[in-house]
Amino acid sequence: MVTKSSEKLFSYLDTLHDKYDEISGKLADPDIVKNQKKFRKLSKELSNLKPLDEKYLEIRDALKQLQDAEELYEISAEKEMKELAKDEISTLSEDLKNLEKDIKLLMVSDQSEDKRNVFLEIRAGAGGNEASLFASDLLRMYTRVAERKSWKAQVISTNYSAIGGIKEIILYVKGANANRYLKFESGVHRVQRVPVTEASGRIHTSTVTVAVMAEVEDVDINIEPKDLRVDTFRASGAGGQHVNKTESAIRITHAPSGIVVSCQDESSQHKNRDKAMKVLKARLYEYEKSKQEDDIASSRRAQVGSGDRSEKIRTYNFPQNRVTDHRITGRNFNVEVILDGSLDDLIIELTEIHNRQLLEDKFKEIVG
């Protein structure tokens, strides 16, 4: 039996199918093919719609089969034929439930966003030296995540503290569905432990902020050269004689937004500029999204807050060997396991919570 909710869903999918056909037609237009920018944009849109359109065709076929089976059940006089039709109805009804579940998940997942590589910006917040040491721990945690997932992790820019911790670091993570997995890491991470510098054994509370920025392509965002100011300067800190003796470090300022990006980890000015531009594009992409989606915490500032101890998404309590993610109720995780990069169980729960909320919002929109 098809519910009113399912009918609304099917009607919504019907509209998306029409859009899919429309875009397919446009991509066959010679004028569109000549306009490479427009062609790439439409191709990307079609690619994003394809998984949903394929499920739509499946559910349309299953609904037709269900209708035929129900008619056969009604008109059949033979008991054996009625039983066969009844079994077919039961199987198809179960298939439709599973298809509807798959479709709902596809409706709230952003394929283009999920597939992106990411930049992780880790900054020491409240807590001084202890915060910088915990930032180093988080860097190791995300590096271990990348190893476990067979992703590539590369440090883009670093700023060390006096005791060897990290004041700020940008880690580039490249791999399949990196953004889908790591996007939940944005926010304030709070640590409660006895610092190695604490002689009295008192437990300190410190914070580290993490911002996850999706890597963007040239087609996603346009940067005018006239809006950029590029400065070179001599790198500081560890990096070898060549890095420190030449003006290889790059600072790029985007005038309209006021965003400033610097990179000094490479010995080549050209390589530093390329890395800085990638980070700038990612930050500008988040900046534009935040202007369009004021009510959603998608901008970097909304992700990390001010770094105050009270603005937290997760607490790492070492004395109790417990990690508490404050978006998940009724469950804690092992500190050592989490810091070793085993985040799968935690991410699965966060994904389910996230999708559930998105589905509720989506169906309010569709069903009305």
Per-residue pLDDT of 93-144, as tens digits, reads: 999 988 988 888 788 776 677 888 999 999 999 988 899 999 999 999 999 9
Which of 32-46, 101-115, 268-282, 300-314 is predicted least confidently?
300-314
Q: Is the pTM of this model over 0.75?
A: no
Q: What percent of the chain has pLDDT over 90?
A: 41
Mean per-residue pLDDT of the chain: 84
Asked if residues 263 and 239 have their Cβ atoms less than 8 Å apart, the reply is no
What distance in Å separates the CA atoms of residue 125 and residue 311, rounded to the nearest whole number? 11
| CA dihedral of 241, 243, 246, 251, whole degrees rounded to 10 | -160
Which of 22-31, 57-66, 282-291 is predicted least confidently?
282-291
* pLDDT at residue 299, as a whole number: 41
User: Which amino acid would we find at residue 316?
Assistant: Y
Instruction: Provide the strand spans (E) within the chain.
Output: 118-124, 152-160, 166-174, 187-193, 204-214, 228-233, 249-254, 259-263, 314-317, 322-325
pLDDT average, residue stretch 178-207 = 89
First-to-last C-alpha distance (Å) of the chain: 21
CATH of 225-292, one of 3.40.640.10, 3.30.160.20, 3.20.19.10, 3.40.50.1000: 3.30.160.20
* pLDDT at residue 359, as a whole number: 77
Confidence check: pLDDT of 275 > 90: no
* pLDDT at residue 243, as a whole number: 45
What distance in Å separates the CA atoms of residue 159 and residue 354, rounded to the nearest whole number? 33
* pLDDT at residue 58, as a whole number: 92
Asked if residues 252 and 230 have their Cβ atoms less than 8 Å apart, the reply is yes
Query: In the numeric block, which tokens belong to residue 105?
Result: 């998940």
* pLDDT at residue 287, as a whole number: 78
Q: At 136, which helix (H) or strand (E)?
A: helix 129-148
* pLDDT at residue 239, as a whole number: 44
pLDDT average, residue stretch 309-338 = 91
- Rounded to the nearest 5°, which phi and psi values hold at 139? -60, -45
Q: Which CATH architecture has domain 115-215+300-364?
A: 2-Layer Sandwich (3.30)
What distance in Å separates the CA atoms of residue 32 and residue 38, rounded to the nearest whole number? 7
* pLDDT at residue 240, as a whole number: 42
- Rounded to the nearest 5°, which phi and psi values hold at 171? -110, 125
* pLDDT at residue 233, as a whole number: 81
DSSP strand pairing (204-214 vs 118-124): antiparallel
* pLDDT at residue 208, as a whole number: 96
What distance in Å separates the CA atoms of residue 115 and residue 135, rounded to the nearest whole number? 26
What distance in Å separates the CA atoms of residue 351 and residue 268, rounded to the nearest whole number? 40
Contacts of 207 (CB under 8 A, 6+ apart): 125, 126, 127, 131, 188, 189, 190, 191, 307, 308, 309, 311, 312
